Chains A and B, each alone.
Chain A
Amino acid sequence: EAGVAQSPRYKIIEKRQSVAFWCNPISGHATLYWYQQILGQGPKLLIQFQNNGVVDDSQLPKDRFSAERLKGVDSTLKIQPAKLEDSAVYLCASSRDSGFEGTQYFGPGTRLTVL
């Protein structure tokens, strides 16, 4: 089966600009996650969707980050405006199971550089 798709793979922007990332999960996976991974650290969960509803967005900086999952399939993560500290790899993952009981399948990530 096809894996989790993400685009773009790389993005370079100036601070205060806006950026959006796209994720297409594995077909049939109801749960979708967005993570931020800063260089040298483990991934940090930003938001979790179950179908098109938000389950947990407690770690999402809502003053600048937003995410949506329309029709319970694809998802977009937006940063507006970007800060230097947002430079990181943004990973999308999906799972057939709800919560964190099952295997999460990760996409290749989008590497964001904020100058």
Chain B
Amino acid sequence: SQQGEEDPQALSIQEGENATMNCSYKTSINNLQWYRQNSGRGLVHLILIRSNEREKHSGRLRVTLDTSKKSSSLLITASRAADTASYFCATDAKGYGQNFVFGPGTRLSVLP
């Protein structure tokens, strides 16, 4: 199975609601990053959280990291139709081998 896996695979919410996506990974990491991909703007970096950090904020985004559980969550508050996209977590794994791995993504639909 993959290093990073997002949950749920798909999420549909109403505008104004909050959206939470989770990411689990298997190996020790240097950092974990969240990306958004839609047809309009392509793949865009959202936020990077390092292994010694527990929480980061950027605008309406809040990311948490629990290295003991090897998991991260992305919270989007007060969602907008423009937030409709696929969201991926990517892990920068420590050591050699396949160092930077994207999960399969969560498809978020924000309905007006």
Contacts and interface: CB of A to CB of B under 8 A. Distances in A.
Given A100-B30, A101-B31, A103-B48, A109 B100 contact: no
Q: How large is the interface on A (under 10, 10 to 19, 20 to 34, 35 or more residues)?
A: 20 to 34
A109 B102 contact: no
Contacts of A41: 104-105
B100 A100 contact: yes
A105 B46 CA distance: 11
Interface string A30-53: 000000000011111100100000
Contacts of A40: 104
Given A99-B92, A100-B31, A45 B100 contact: yes
Main secondary structure of the interface of B (DSSP, over half): strand
Contacts of B101: 42, 44-45
B81 interface: no
B45 A59 contact: no
Contacts, number: 50
A30 B30 CA distance: 20
A82 interface: no
Interface residues of B, number: 22
A70 B43 CA distance: 25
Interface of B: 2, 4, 30-31, 33, 42-45, 48, 88, 90, 92, 97-105
Given A100-B99, A104-B45, 12 more contacts: A41-B105, A42-B105, A43-B43, A44-B101, A56-B99, A58-B98, A100-B30, A100-B33, A100-B100, A101-B48, A102-B48, A106-B44
29 contacts: A41-B104, A41-B105, A42-B88, A42-B90, A42-B102, A42-B104, A43-B43, A43-B102, A44-B101, A44-B102, A45-B98, A45-B99, A48-B100, A56-B99, A58-B97, A58-B98, A93-B43, A99-B92, A100-B30, A100-B31, A100-B99, A100-B100, A101-B30, A101-B31, A103-B45, A104-B45, A106-B42, A106-B43, A108-B42
